[in-house]
Amino acid sequence: MNHFIHLVTTNRLSHAYLFSGLPGCGKRAVAQVVAMRLFCQQPTNSGLPCGHCPECRRILAGDNPDVVMVEPDGQRIKIDQVRYIKDEFSKSPVEGATKVFIIEGAETLTTNAANGLLKFIEEPVANRVIFLLTTNKSMILPTILSRSQVVEFPALSSSAFADTLRERQISDNQISLLSALTNSLEIAEKLTNDDWLANCQHELSRWFGQLAKRDDMAFVTVSTGLMPLASDRDHQGVLLDAIILLWETTLRVKYLPDALDTAFPELQQTTVNVAQSLTRQQLLDILTAALGTKKLLASNMNIQSILETLTLNILAELKKVA
């Protein structure tokens, strides 16, 4: 952060930056702080924006016409959003000396859309700064990479992540599961809203426990217990990640009994029993099927069909040794 504050105060900001890192690593926060510093009316003695003046508050609220913020609409940044960016790029700053563009999810730009932005990156315009934020640098056009200053953001350490979650009064049991699913405080907050994560732990424990007993009610639990958790695409992906985690843990426990964790505290003994009852190949087959669910979701297959098919496949595998 100090590096960018120095660039602002010495008027040496580049025209284009690519911030790359996992969700929650601070990419957007740094870009916003830079924008705030460019407009702040009362910077601190250390050069940081005050965060309280009208201009800082407007930027945080997304209400400054000279700070253009765009994020994916659904799965992608749409062509209409790119047209908006281009239109704003052609305009002079309205209230300040600089116009700032912050584009979240730059990896979701289509090739045509990315090429459209490339023209502005290749031919810098005075008083324009663009921040492209991505979680997957490999999906950015090489021509954009070569013309931007790339800044890699390290992930938040697991211990720091856990400490921050504890400060927010999240239980250790939930912290174990959250730490396995994400490194993003923003995502963690979303998952703990309305007790979603606690319900996820409970319903997956019920589903896994039924599977362990070779009980066909596990199929019914998909619709009664799991589907209410799958309200949108993001939660569907996390639900599948949690299922994969369950079976990864089961496979580890077969050979490393001490590999048990507290992500699913209700299942510790059940996990051991399932691990001991299945062969290595059976566990690998189940885990492979679980891993395949993410690909099916990406191909827009119905989530209930994905979960029901997985459940039937697991039951068939378990009943071989019933």
Q: For 44-90, what is each residue's pLDDT tens digit?
A: 988 899 999 999 999 999 899 999 999 888 778 887 888 888 889 88
Q: 79-88 burial, b if ≥16 CB within 10 A, otherwise e?
A: eebbeebeee
Quick one: 171 and 97 in the same domain? no
Question: Range with the lowest mean pLDDT among 24-28, 239-243, 257-261, 312-316?
Answer: 257-261
* Full-model pTM: 0.63
Judged against a pLDDT cut of 80, whether residue 28 lies above it is answered with yes
Residue among 69, 1, 7, 3 at smallest CA distance from 38: 7
Q: Assign residue 169 a region (left: φ > 0; alpha: ψ between -120 and 50; beta: otherwise).
A: left
Quick one: 289 and 141 in the same domain? no
Q: Residue 313, Cβ neighbours under 10 Å: how many?
A: 16
Distance CA 51, CA 181 (A): 32
Considering 152, 172, 191, which residue would you say is the last residue of a domain? 152
Report how many domains make up the chain. Answer: 2
Q: What is the pLDDT of residues 168-215, one digit of tens each?
A: 888 888 888 888 888 777 788 889 988 999 999 999 999 999 999 999
Considering 95, 126, 152, which residue would you say is the last residue of a domain? 152
Q: What is the pLDDT of residue 322?
A: 57
What's 218's domain CATH number? 1.20.272.10
Q: What is the pLDDT of residue 182?
A: 86
Quick one: 188 and 50 in the same domain? no
Of these ranges, 5-9, 134-138, 291-295, the one predicted with the greatest mean pLDDT is 291-295
- For the CA atoms of 12, 16, 19, 20, the dihedral, rounded to the nearest 10 degrees, stands at -140
Quick one: 137 and 162 in the same domain? no
Quick one: 106 and 184 in the same domain? no
Residues of the chain with pLDDT > 70: what percent? 98
Distance CA 100, CA 93 (A): 9
Parent domain of 237: 158-319
Q: What is the pLDDT of residue 260?
A: 66
Quick one: 45 and 106 in the same domain? yes
Quick one: 148 and 38 in the same domain? yes
Q: What is the pLDDT of residues 79-98, one digit of tens each?
A: 788 888 888 988 888 888 89
Distance CA 162, CA 172 (A): 8
